[in-house]
């Protein structure tokens, strides 16, 4: 077993920790959940329309079906996608209205269609929150309008967003600057512009959700992906939320990178017993692994696992060992090592009686 440590990737320019206007904020690396920056991240606060991250996720997890809009469904104040009594569209269309123009009418309509009552849908939201381990979150409304007992934390919102981004339809809607919704009645297509300005301000932005009420203030959840790293940022009660998120994202991308092995992660050979050749070359291919902080790179340790020798025959491409890269006891990347050539079996030497038989032509 061979151990080796080294710096596998280049650190980026150092960016100072951001100063944000938000009362509560957090920035995490989405794959590992590692916190890169936080400010009062466990403080319970109203979250306005960032609530619709959960509402839209639960809506998109339903089998897509037609919704006939009634006056009860759209009897809600605030932002709207313009639904009218008698409209017919799909659940997916309602989710699009929630995530683009923050339609409270869309959120209520989906909740009533799915569970019959807003309170029953709130129960569904809270069950999912428990499943996701959101211990400081409680939902009362699907739209995010202020209500007693309706709260979350920046930390919980970040965890919820990471889960929601695993849903392909959710990710597609939040990252779209413009969304078209096909209505069945009236038979028309309506186009909605996404309220999230970061989609045009931040490289690699995949959106997520804006929000505002007088009690909650300006709330914003954003996600962005650069060089294979996905970050999620949350601000609650943030007067300067756009700039808060730009600063947090710049800071985060300067501190975290995806681990990459050297171009030649391993090159060597193994002895071969009983083969036409005495040894066979062994190689690995360049791989990427888990994210890590740039300053952690010099603590990465490589562990090579290979047998002392191989038995013939050996075929090129046979997996003969494994390389694993570790950081503080946690694996960053692991991949096989392969034989770099063929080694057929050596023909057996003829024995004494075989030589006698051959001499007299007995065989």
**Which residues are identified as catalytic?**
49, 52, 102
| Contact (Cβ atoms closer than 8 angstroms) between residue 82 and residue 106 | no
Query: Strands, E, within the chain: which ranges?
Result: 2-5, 24-29, 34-39, 66-68, 88-90, 178-183, 188-193, 205-213, 217-226, 229-236, 256-260, 267-273, 279-283, 288-293, 301-305, 310-311, 319-327, 330-339
Name the residue among 292, 282, 299 with its Cα closest to residue 336: 282
| Contact (Cβ atoms closer than 8 angstroms) between residue 249 and residue 202 | yes
Name the residue among 307, 255, 320 with its Cα closest to residue 17: 255
State the sign of the Cα–Cα–Cα–Cα dihedral 154, 158, 164, 168: positive
Helix 118-131 vs helix 52-60: angle between axes, to the nearest 10 degrees?
A: 90
Q: Is the peptide bond before 313 cis (omega within 30 degrees of 0)?
A: yes
Q: What are phi and psi of 102, to 5 degrees?
A: 60, 45
Q: Is the peptide bond before 186 cis (omega within 30 degrees of 0)?
A: yes
DSSP 353: H
DSSP 138: B
Q: Which two tokens stand for residue 64?
A: 């897509």
Name the residue among 26, 18, 25, 30 with its Cα closest to residue 258: 30
Question: Which residues are 90's β-sheet partners?
Answer: 66
Name the residue among 290, 230, 296 with its Cα closest to residue 259: 290
Question: Which residues are 280's β-sheet partners?
Answer: 270
Residue the block writes with tokens 């209205």: 97
Biggest distance spanned by C-alpha atoms of the chain: 108
């Amino acid at each position: 077993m061979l151990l080796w440590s080294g710096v596998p990737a280049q650190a980026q320019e150092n960016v100072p920790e951001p100063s944000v206007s938000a009362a509560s904020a957090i920035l995490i690396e989405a794959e590992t959940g590692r916190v890169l920056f936080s400010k009062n991240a466990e403080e319970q606060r109203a979250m306005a329309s960032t609530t619709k991250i959960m509402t839209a996720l639960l809506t998109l997890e339903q089998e897509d079906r037609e919704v006939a809009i009634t006056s009860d469904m759209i009897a809600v104040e605030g932002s709207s996608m313009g639904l009218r009594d008698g409209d017919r569209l799909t659940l997916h269309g309602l989710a699009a209205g929630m995530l683009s123009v923050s339609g409270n009418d869309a959120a209520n309509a989906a909740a009533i269609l799915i569970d019959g009552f807003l309170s029953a849908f709130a129960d569904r939201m809270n069950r999912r929150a428990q499943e996701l381990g959101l211990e400081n979150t409680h939902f009362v409304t699907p739209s995010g309008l202020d209500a007693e007992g309706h709260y979350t934390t920046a930390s919980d919102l970040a965890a919820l967003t990471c889960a929601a981004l695993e849903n392909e339809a959710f990710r597609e809607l939040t990252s779209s600057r413009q969304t078209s919704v096909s209505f069945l009645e009236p038979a028309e297509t309506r186009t909605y512009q996404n309220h999230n300005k970061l989609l045009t301000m931040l490289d690699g932005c995949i959106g997520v959700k804006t929000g505002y009420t007088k009690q909650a203030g300006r709330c914003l959840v954003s996600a962005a992906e650069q060089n294979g790293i996905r970050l999620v940022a949350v601000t609650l009660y943030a007067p300067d939320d756009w700039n808060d998120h730009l600063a947090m994202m710049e800071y985060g991308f300067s501190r975290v990178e995806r681990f990459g092995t050297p171009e030649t992660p391993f090159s060597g050979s193994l002895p071969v017993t009983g083969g036409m050749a005495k040894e066979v070359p062994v190689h690995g291919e360049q791989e990427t692994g888990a994210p890590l902080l740039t300053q952690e790179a010099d603590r990465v340790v490589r562990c090579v696992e290979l047998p002392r020798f191989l038995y013939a025959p050996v075929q090129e491409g046979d997996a003969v060992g494994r390389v694993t890269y570790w950081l503080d006891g946690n694996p960053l990347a692991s991949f096989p090592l392969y034989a770099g050539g063929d080694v057929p079996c050596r023909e057996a030497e003829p024995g004494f009686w075989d030589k006698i038989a051959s001499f007299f032509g007995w065989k």
